[in-house]
Amino acid sequence: MAYIKIDKEKCKGCLLCMTNCPKGLIIQDEEINIKGVRAVSFKNNSECTGCAFCALMCPDVCIEVYK
């Protein structure tokens, strides 16, 4: 059991976290954030292993991982 928190205001919508999540648990939002970009959200379910691949790739340190 693990989960991530995403700081959506910091997020620049690069999608590097999304493409590096082995379980496909990160999805892009339809709406835009305060920066004017489509940020990402965590698909909240029990599959997250806390591998932190998303956080390792995030250039803007928007992701916290809990395990």
Partner 1 sequence: MKITNKTSSTNQTSKALRKVFSLPASMRDVAMHYCSGCGHGIIHRLICEVIDELEIREKTIGVAPVGCAVLAYDYWNFDTTEASHGRPPAVATGIKRILPERIVFTYQGDGDLAAIGTAEIIHTANRGENITVIFVNNAVYGMTGGQMAPTTILGQKTETTPWGRDAQRDGFPLKISEMLALLSGVVYVERTAVNNAKNVLLTKKAIKKAFLNQIENKGFSLVEILSPCPTYWRMSPVEAVKWIETEMVKYYPLGVIKG
Q: Residue numbers of the site for partner 1 (CB under 8 A)?
A: 1-3, 5-10, 12-16, 19-20, 29-34, 37, 41-42, 44, 50-53, 55-61, 63-67
**Cα 44 from Cα 42, distance rounded (Å):** 6
Cβ atoms of 63 and 4 closer than 8 Å: yes
Residue 40, strand partner residues: 28
First to last CA, the chain: 6
Q: Residue numbers of the site for ligand SF4 (CB under 6 A)?
A: 6, 11-17, 39-40, 57-58, 60, 62-63
Q: How far is the CB of 62 from partner 1 (least distance, A)?
A: 9
- Considering the complex, state which of residue 1 and residue 57 has its C-beta at the smaller distance from ligand SF4: 57
